[in-house]
């Protein structure tokens, strides 16, 4: 009975997160495509958010398909090619989500930095500059995840004597240490560098908002106007997204290190890891959408 209820709750959670995640990211994608086409400025931020919504959609779809196939015991749905494609795209998209979120944070920090600072020179001048960064992210993350194409296989293709790490219907076969550790080291280095940059840019934005708040206290009569400046609204929204990101991805980073260094048939940890990634990818667009609605209502108050 306990197992039945556990399976039922797991199915409801994964289906709900998958459905809401796809809906939220599609809404965010369409909204920023519209503002990119029709809006007069902030094209760089729109491009980054469009890409982030697209990448998160890939994550939600891949994790959702893989886990729904697993928890509903659907057999012969994904062959070896299907497993390799789903798991590889999920891993690449996870890395792209980290890199894109970092780029969003850094660009927003540069936008609100004082004009006299050297960091203003790092601001992308056009959307093409942002696209160049995103292309580099795709190449880099595609390369450091390429080992999965060889070691991922469908569960039904495994021999009984083989031991693999369960990843939801699909299995990761054990790899040689000379192959595993270089890729794991690159993944770790990527996460440390980009999360470090996010920490720096988030701290910079918090400091700027603190200074802005002190200025508002001295200029109380213009408080409403200052709080509704576009760069302040955008900064508050990005900081909210950074908080969600750090909560989910720091936990995911720990699980990734564990699952990358061990091979086990235990599906509890991979399921927890999938739930963490799916939660961020599925819920983050609603954080942005709700924050936009809250700011719009606040700024409409005279």
At 166 the pLDDT is 47
Residue 55 CA to residue 256 CA, distance in Å, equals 19
At 75 the pLDDT is 61
Percent of the chain topping pLDDT 90: 15
Residue that wins the pLDDT comparison between 200 and 177: 200
Average the pLDDT over each of 87-101, 212-226, 239-253, 266-280 and give the range with the smallest value: 212-226
Please, which residues bridge with residue 166 across strands?
171
State the average pLDDT over residues 261-276.
65
At 12 the pLDDT is 83
Residue 290 has pLDDT above 60, yes or no: yes
At 27 the pLDDT is 92
Enter the tokens of residue 206. 């918090």
Residue among 208, 212, 207 at smallest CA distance from 226: 212
The CA angle 270-272-278, to the nearest 5 degrees, is 100
Residue-wise pLDDT tens digits, 21-63? 899 999 999 988 988 888 766 678 889 999 999 999 999 988 8
Residue-wise pLDDT tens digits, 182-240? 888 888 888 889 988 888 888 887 777 777 666 655 554 444 445 556 566 667 777 77
CA dist 111 → 68, 194, 231 (Å): 42, 19, 8
> With the C-alpha atoms ordered 292, 297, 298, 300, is the resulting torsion angle positive or negative?
positive
Residue that wins the pLDDT comparison between 86 and 220: 86
Please, which residues bridge with residue 165 across strands?
172
Residue 90 has pLDDT above 50, yes or no: yes
Residue that wins the pLDDT comparison between 103 and 203: 103
pLDDT bin (cut points 50, 70, 90) of residue 139 is very high
Strands of the sheet with 152-154, listed across from one edge: 152-154, 170-172, 165-166
Average the pLDDT over each of 87-96, 248-257, 289-298 and give the range with the smallest value: 289-298
3-state SS of 96-145 is: HHHHHHHHHHHHHHHHHCCCCCHHHHHCCCCHHHHHHHHHHHHHHHHHHC
Residue 283 CA to residue 280 CA, distance in Å, equals 5
Residue 264 has a CB neighbour count (10 Å cut-off) of: 14
Surface-to-core class of residue 85, CB atoms within 10 Å of its CB (0-12 exposed, 13-18 middle, 19+ buried): middle
pLDDT bin (cut points 50, 70, 90) of residue 125 is confident
The DSSP H or E segment spanning 217 is helix 177-218
Q: What phi, psi does 154 have (nearest 5°)? A: -75, 150
Q: What phi, psi does 41 have (nearest 5°)? A: -150, -175
Q: Rounded mean pLDDT of the chain? A: 75
Enter the tokens of residue 99. 């890199």
> Are 60 and 95 in contact, with CB atoms under 8 Å apart?
no
- 3-class SS at 220? helix
Residue 181 CA to residue 62 CA, distance in Å, equals 25
At 37 the pLDDT is 86
């Amino acid at each position: 009975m306990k197992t039945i209820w556990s399976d039922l709750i797991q199915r409801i959670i994964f289906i709900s997160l998958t459905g809401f995640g796809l809906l939220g990211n599609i809404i965010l994608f369409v909204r920023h495509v519209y503002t990119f086409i029709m809006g007069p400025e902030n094209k760089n931020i729109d491009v980054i958010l469009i890409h982030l919504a697209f990448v998160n959609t890939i994550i939600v779809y891949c994790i959702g398909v893989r886990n729904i196939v697993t928890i509903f015991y659907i057999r012969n749905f994904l062959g070896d090619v299907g497993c390799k494609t789903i798991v590889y795209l999920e891993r690449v998209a996870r890395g792209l989500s980290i890199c894109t979120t970092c780029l969003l944070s850094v660009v927003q920090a540069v936008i609100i930095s004082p004009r006299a600072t050297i960091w203003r020179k790092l601001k992308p001048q056009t959307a093409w500059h942002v696209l160049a960064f995103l292309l580099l992210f795709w190449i880099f993350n595609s390369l450091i995840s390429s080992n999965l194409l060889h070691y991922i296989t469908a569960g039904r293709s495994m021999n009984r004597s083989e031991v693999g790490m369960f990843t939801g219907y699909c299995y990761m076969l054990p790899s040689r240490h000379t192959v595993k550790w270089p890729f794991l080291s690159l993944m770790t280095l990527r996460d440390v560098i980009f999360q470090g940059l996010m920490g720096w840019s988030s701290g910079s934005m918090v400091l700027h908002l603190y200074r802005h708040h002190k200025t508002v206290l001295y200029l109380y009569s213009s408080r409403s106007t200052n709080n509704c400046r576009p760069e302040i609204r955008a900064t508050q929204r990005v900081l909210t997204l950074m908080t969600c990101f750090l909560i989910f991805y720091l936990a995911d980073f720990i699980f990734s290190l564990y699952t990358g260094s061990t091979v086990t048939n235990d599906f509890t940890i991979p399921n927890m890891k999938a739930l963490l990634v799916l939660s961020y990818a599925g819920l983050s667009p609603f954080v942005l959408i709700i924050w936009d609605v809250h700011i719009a209502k606040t700024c409409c108050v005279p």
